[in-house]
Amino acid sequence: MSRAYVVGNVTIRDAEKWAQYVAEVPATLTPWGGEILLRGRQAALLAGQAPHRNLVVLSFPDLDSINRWYASAAYQALIPLRDDAATVDLAAYEA
């Protein structure tokens, strides 16, 4: 069965606001079958360039679930907090 993923590359600017955002995101994932697979900080750069030092990987049942999660009122309400706290590049992938 295929899955879909959101990969976020992150540069945190305000640790307190980021912590608040991180605490509130999981509740927005549940209705869409989403889960956090990884939150991490870069340990070493092995090749290429990586302008962001932090990474998050979310897993969803399918691309439609990602789109519904991202467009949901619950997640949309968190975007201003996210954008105040960090620079975030998000991309969706199908596997």
Decide: 9 and 88 in contact? Cβ < 8 Å: yes
- Tell me: pLDDT of 66 over 90: yes
> pLDDT, tens digit, for every residue of 72-85?
999 999 999 999 99
What's the confidence (pLDDT) of residue 2? 86
- Reported as a pLDDT band with limits 50, 70 and 90, residue 1 is low
What's the confidence (pLDDT) of residue 4? 98
pTM of the model: 0.94
The CATH T-level fold of domain 4-41+52-94 is Alpha-Beta Plaits (3.30.70)
Q: How far apart are the two ends of the chain, measured CA to CA in Å?
A: 9
Decide: 60 and 6 in contact? Cβ < 8 Å: yes
**Which whole number is the average pLDDT over 40-64?**
96
What's the confidence (pLDDT) of residue 87? 98
Phi-psi region of 33 (alpha: psi -120 to 50; beta: other; left: phi over 0): left
